[in-house]
Amino acid sequence: MGSHNENLHTWQQRNFTFQSANPTASKKAGILRQNIAHISASLASHDVGTRFGLKCLSDETQSYVAIVDDSGASGLNNYSENALSLVSGIKEQSQHVTWKSGLTEKGIVGLDSVKQIIDATSHLKCSGNEKNICLFSDKTLINKYFQKSANVGGQASKTQHTDMDCKPSKAVYNVRSNPASTAFLNQGPSGKRTRLDDGASQSDSEDDNKPHVFKSAREQLCINQKKKNQRHSPQANPTKKSLGFSPKKSLGVRRNQCFSKFVPPSNHKDSTEDNGPMKYKVSADPSDKLDSDIHPKLKGIDPNLIELVMSEVMDHGAPIHWDHIAGLEYAKATIKEVVIWPMMRPDIFTGLRGPPKGILLFGPPGTGKTLIGKCIASQSGATFFSISASSLTSKWIGQGEKMVRALFAVASINQPAVIFIDEIDSLLSQRSDSEHESSRRIKTEFFVQLDGATTSSEDRILVVGATNRPHEIDEAARRRLVKRLYIPLPEDGAREQIITKLLQEQSYRMTEEEILSVVKRTEGFSGADVTNLCKEAALGPIRSLQFQDISKISTEDVRPIAVEDFNKALERVRPSVSKKDLSMYEEWNKVFGCGGI
Ligand SMILES: Nc1ncnc2c1ncn2[C@@H]1O[C@H](COP(=O)(O)OP(=O)(O)OP(=O)(O)O)[C@@H](O)[C@H]1O
Ligand SMILES: [Mg+2]
């Protein structure tokens, strides 16, 4: 190094040049760089005092930095390159400079960002011909790179990818994602920083001699997007298939292989508890919600049928009193004995006195059988189920026998209960070979239920059947309907009772004799027939009105019913039961009836 004065002189001269001329920014920077180098050399050789030397060094460095990083257009902005070449410059000029640049390949590999690169590349797999992305498989490759650039005098050579080409087995890492970590990795011959990972400029060997041009991240992104699209187009990478590398697409969340056992939602508190199926407590009040516990007697029965029984079958008709039923004293007495009393005093009516399981009301049509059923409902205080055989067979086709089972099950839970089956002959008619399978099944179910197989002897369930065709009932049913009550045509007194009762609802002017005469003339009439006669007679006074008076007349002005009306009505209303039919009933009663009329 020159003597102290010489150095000073040179330095002053350089300074002067710097101050006087109007060099460009890069020129200035160059001069400042030399000054800095010069000062640090003088410091090292103790040509200048340490204090003075350091002062000058910091001044020069500041003005250098000011130029390089000047935010204006002139800012050279290539601070990092220059700093690097500066440092490598210092390294050359003053071998014995004490401080050592950290920019050795060891130091670089030790940098966090480089470590990230190395780590990141260690597990990535090459996915086919991603040639245009620079590859680092591990530290050795990075070290190799630096050896290579060191050999070329620090000038980063073109990144020769010969040994870095992406071989299918090598990891792929796109170092683009961490620019700071690539700044020092490669400086192209023009000093322009290029990126090792520059997908666009990074290309396979044939492009290597093309100068690497620096691209901004945005440009890079567009270029890579284009490349990616090309790569993914089917003809772009046939090798993907050949590599057999096609990750299975699993839509959404990957299902775990072991399918958890499906547990159906249940109303049970704890499905592990073995508390059996739902229990229903069927209350007399159908509006009650079904409780969560199923009565043992309802096990295995379709809840819908249970609901049906409760909504459709339970009778909620208007209450009927025994007085509403004219005549039929014997029948009424028997029913009271068999139905009402046992319901009221089950403690007395047990064992031999226990009530029968079934009653049959038979007789000509319109004699009050259904009426009796309704009266039992309102008078017995029992839960009353009224079902007609035709609805059982038609409405619930195929459900017949299930319906029967549900019916008896619900009744047994709501005992004392009366099951009234109107037109029971169409349900339990004589079995024949030609009959339909479903009706046969219904019958069988009925017999089982009637037999009390499902109801213990203490159960208070009464089945009341009504029919006007008793001879058609199957003998098995007949046996089970132990009380077979004949409901005959009403006698005079009954007919007089029906007429009197009905006339009281209207204004009438008839003498007792006249009424009796009417009763006489309705011999053979059923209760229903008598009722029809009264209705007809009541129309008499209306018919005597002129048509035009109808709209004006008040109810008081309508004349009362008179015997003439009945005389006319008798011309129109005829008895519905023939003598022949009548004899048939009487005959049947003699054979199968429980006596009395
Ligand atoms: N003994 C009676 N007392 C009062 N009214 C009666 C009597 N018998 C019949 N009736 C009248 O006739 C109508 C029909 O009676 P009910 O429906 O009980 O006849 P039924 O015996 O059931 O006939 P079917 O065998 O055709 O079903 C009743 O609504 C009632 O007005
Ligand atoms: Mg009836």
In sequence order, the β-bridge partners of residue 464 are 359, 420
- Residue ID of nearest Cα to ligand 1 atom 12: 528
Q: How far apart are the first and last CA of the chain?
A: 153
Other C-beta atoms closer than 10 Å to the C-beta of 458 total 10
CA distances from 383 to 417, 418, 460 (A): 4, 6, 11
Q: Is residue 468 domain-shared with residue 557, that is, in the same domain?
A: no
Q: How many helices (H) and strands (E) does the chain have?
A: 23, 5
Per the structure, how many domains does the chain have?
Answer: 3
Instruction: Using the mean position of ligand 2's atoms as its centre, give its distance from the Cα of residue 486 in Å.
Output: 13
Mutate to test the pocket of ligand 1, among 320, 371, 473, 526 (most ligand atoms within 8 A of CB): 371
Task: Please provide residue 18's backbone torsions phi and psi, each rounded to the nearest 5 degrees.
Answer: -60, -45
Give the CATH number for residue 462.
3.40.50.300
Rounded CA-CA distance 427/446 in Å is 9
Residue 309 is predicted with a pLDDT of: 74
Minimum-distance ligand to the CA of 468? 1
Residue 275 maps to a domain: no
Residue 380 is predicted with a pLDDT of: 79
Closest-lying ligand 1 atom to the alpha carbon of residue 468: 25
Rounded CA-CA distance 306/403 in Å is 8
Residue 141 maps to a domain: no
Residue 570 maps to a domain: yes
The pLDDT tens digits for 161-200 are 444 343 433 333 333 334 443 443 344 444 444 443 444 4
Instruction: Specify whether the CB–CB gap between 570 and 533 falls below 8 A.
Output: yes
Tell me the HSE value of 497 on the side-chain side, using a 13 A CA sphere: 16
Residue 183 maps to a domain: no
The token pair at 564 is 């003439």
Q: Is residue 462 domain-shared with residue 516, that is, in the same domain?
A: no
Residue 230 maps to a domain: no
Task: Provide the 8-state DSSP code for 309.
Answer: I
Residue 238 maps to a domain: no
In sequence order, the β-bridge partners of residue 484 are 360
Residue 36 is predicted with a pLDDT of: 80
Q: Within the chain, which residues score under 70 in pLDDT?
A: 1-25, 68-222, 225, 228-294, 312-317, 390-398, 453-457, 595-597
Instruction: Using the mean position of ligand 1's atoms as its centre, give its distance from the Cα of residue 26 in Å.
Output: 125
Last residue of a domain, one of 25, 47, 75: 75
Residue 183 is predicted with a pLDDT of: 42
The pLDDT tens digits for 401-413 are 888 888 888 888 8
Residues in the chain: 597
Q: Is residue 18 domain-shared with residue 53, that is, in the same domain?
A: yes
Instruction: Using the mean position of ligand 2's atoms as its centre, give its distance from the Cα of residue 354 in Å.
Output: 27
Mutate to test the pocket of ligand 1, among 335, 370, 422 (most ligand atoms within 8 A of CB): 370
Last residue of a domain, one of 436, 462, 486: 486
Q: Is residue 343 domain-shared with residue 432, that is, in the same domain?
A: yes
Minimum-distance ligand to the CA of 502? 1
Closest-lying ligand 1 atom to the alpha carbon of residue 361: 21
Three-state DSSP state, 486: strand
Last residue of a domain, one of 28, 53, 75: 75
Q: In sequence order, which residues have a C-beta less than 8 Å from that of residue 46 and are 6 or more positions away?
A: none
Closest by alpha carbon to 167, among 138, 207, 135? 135
Rounded CA-CA distance 338/344 in Å is 11
Residue 534 is predicted with a pLDDT of: 92
Rounded CA-CA distance 462/254 in Å is 63
Instruction: Specify whether the CB–CB gap between 168 and 126 falls below 8 A.
Output: yes
Residue 360 maps to a domain: yes
Residue 64 maps to a domain: yes
- Residue ranges of alpha helices (H) inside 451-546 are 475-480, 492-503, 512-521, 527-538, 540-543
CA distances from 224 to 185, 382, 527 (A): 21, 88, 102
Q: Is residue 378 domain-shared with residue 507, that is, in the same domain?
A: no
Q: Is residue 345 domain-shared with residue 418, that is, in the same domain?
A: yes
Instruction: Using the mean position of ligand 1's atoms as its centre, give its distance from the Cα of residue 328 in Å.
Output: 11
The token pair at 582 is 């009548």
Ligand 1: lining residues by beta carbon, under 6 Å: 325-328, 365-371, 466, 468, 490, 494, 498, 527-528, 531
Instruction: Using the mean position of ligand 1's atoms as its centre, give its distance from the Cα of residue 529 in Å.
Output: 9
Give the CATH number for residue 556.
1.10.8.60
Rounded CA-CA distance 434/453 in Å is 28
Q: Is residue 373 domain-shared with residue 393, that is, in the same domain?
A: yes
Q: Is residue 336 domain-shared with residue 419, that is, in the same domain?
A: yes
Residue 530 is predicted with a pLDDT of: 93
Minimum-distance ligand to the CA of 485? 1
Rounded CA-CA distance 411/38 in Å is 117
Q: Is residue 327 domain-shared with residue 474, that is, in the same domain?
A: yes
Instruction: Using the mean position of ligand 1's atoms as its centre, give its distance from the Cα of residue 366 in Å.
Output: 4
Q: In sequence order, which residues have a C-beta less than 8 Å from that of residue 592 and are 6 or more positions away?
A: 470, 478, 484
Q: Is residue 28 domain-shared with residue 62, that is, in the same domain?
A: yes
Rounded CA-CA distance 449/404 in Å is 8
Q: Is residue 434 domain-shared with residue 312, that is, in the same domain?
A: yes
Structural domain of 418: 296-486
Q: Is residue 402 domain-shared with residue 500, that is, in the same domain?
A: no
Instruction: Specify whether the CB–CB gap between 388 and 422 falls below 8 A.
Output: yes
- Residue ID of nearest Cα to ligand 1 atom 11: 528
Residue 10 is predicted with a pLDDT of: 56
Instruction: Using the mean position of ligand 2's atoms as its centre, give its distance from the Cα of residue 481 in Å.
Output: 17
